[in-house]
Amino acid sequence: MEDLDPPRESTEAANQILQALECLNLNWDGEVLYQSRRHKAYHDALAQLQRQDLVFPCICSRQDLRACSGIYPGTCSLRDIKGSDLEPGNYALRCKVSNSIMFFDDLLQGKQSQNLEAEIGDFIIKRKDGLYSYQLAVVVDDTFQEITHIVRGIDLIGSSHRQIYLQKLLDYPQPVYSHIPVITNSLGQKLSKQHHATALNLNKPSLTLYQALLYLQQRPPAELQDGKPSEILLWAIENWKIKKLKNLQQLDEGLLN
Ligand SMILES: [Zn+2]
C-alpha cells in the first residue's frame, strides 16, 4: 500500500482499494505491506547508500531548480560534503548518479535506455519534510516482498532506470519489467482519482473485469460476462496474451462507449 504520505492518503482510501480488489476476486499473498510502517527499512537502505558516499544534502530551493527544466543540474554546493559533516537541518537528500547510459529490456516496450545524469540528474531519496521518496521505497519493498515481475502502467516507465540504479547500488536482484498502456480520457489523461475519473462499478464486478479484459485486447468470449469474477479471472490467466498490448501507448476511454 503506497501510503508514504499518510496525511494526504487516508486509511479510508486504503481500505476502499482493498475492498475493491476483494470484490473483484483479486486476492493477495500474506499480509498487506503498508509503506507508512516501513520507515526502518527505508532508513537502513539510505544508510547503506550513505556508507558508499552516494548521498548528499540539497538545500536548493524550488526556485533554484525551476531554471533547469526538471533535470537536476548537479551543481549543488553541498554535493561533495560528507554526511558526517552536516548540521541537522532542513534539507533533502539526493542520490548521486553517474554519466553513463543504462539499459533494460521491457517485456512489452522493448529495449529502454537512459543516461541518468543527462536526463534526470541526482535525484531525491528523502524529501525535505522527512518523507522517503517513492523511488527508494518501492525498490526496498519489492526486494523485501521478493517481487520477480513488475507489471504497471506506462506512465511509470520513466522511473524504472532510477529504480534499477538503486537496485544495483543496494545489491538487490533486478525484477523483470513490463509497462502496459493506461486508459485515458478524451484529454489524454490517465483515468485516476486525480483527474476525477468515475470509480469502479463494484455492484457489477463481473462486468468490470470483462471490460478490463476488452480494454487489454484479450478478446474474452461474450458469455464470460455472466460468469463469476473467479471464472473470468481463470479464463484470463489461461488465455492471457501480453503481446496483444505491444506498441499500444494508451487506451482511449471512448473505445467501449
Ligand atoms: Zn541542491
pLDDT tens-place string over residues 82-128? 655 556 567 889 999 989 899 999 999 999 999 999 999 999 999 98
Ligand 1 mean position, distance from CA 57 (Å): 7
Which pLDDT score is estimated for 73?
Answer: 73
Residue with more model confidence, 205 or 129: 205
Which protein residues have their CB within 5 A of the ion that is ligand 1? 58, 60, 76
The overall pTM is greater than 0.85: yes
Which pLDDT score is estimated for 8?
Answer: 65
> Residue 181: what are its φ and ψ, rounded to 5°?
-65, 155
Contact 224, 231 (CB under 8 A): yes
- The domain over range 38-176 is classified in CATH as 1.10.3720.10: no
Cα–Cα dist 205/168, whole Å: 40
Q: What stretch of H or E contains 176? A: strand 176-180
Q: Which positions ≥6 away from 152 have C-beta within 8 Å?
A: 178, 179, 180
Q: Which positions ≥6 away from 236 have C-beta within 8 Å?
A: 209, 213, 218, 220
Which pLDDT score is estimated for 7?
Answer: 66
Q: Which three cell numbers stand for residue 232?
A: 473470468
Ligand 1 mean position, distance from CA 164 (Å): 23
Indicate if the pLDDT at residue 232 is higher than 60: yes
Which pLDDT score is estimated for 46?
Answer: 96
Ligand 1 mean position, distance from CA 133 (Å): 16
Res. 257 pLDDT band, cuts 50 70 90? very low
Q: Which three cell numbers stand for residue 10?
A: 487516508
Q: Which positions ≥6 away from 118 have C-beta within 8 Å?
A: 71, 99
Which pLDDT score is estimated for 11?
Answer: 82
Ligand 1 mean position, distance from CA 60 (Å): 4
Locate the domains of the chain by residue range.
1-35, 38-176, 184-256
Contact 215, 244 (CB under 8 A): no
Ligand 1 mean position, distance from CA 180 (Å): 34
Neighbour-count burial of 44, counting CB atoms closer than 10 A to its CB (0-12 exposed, 13-18 middle, 19+ buried): exposed
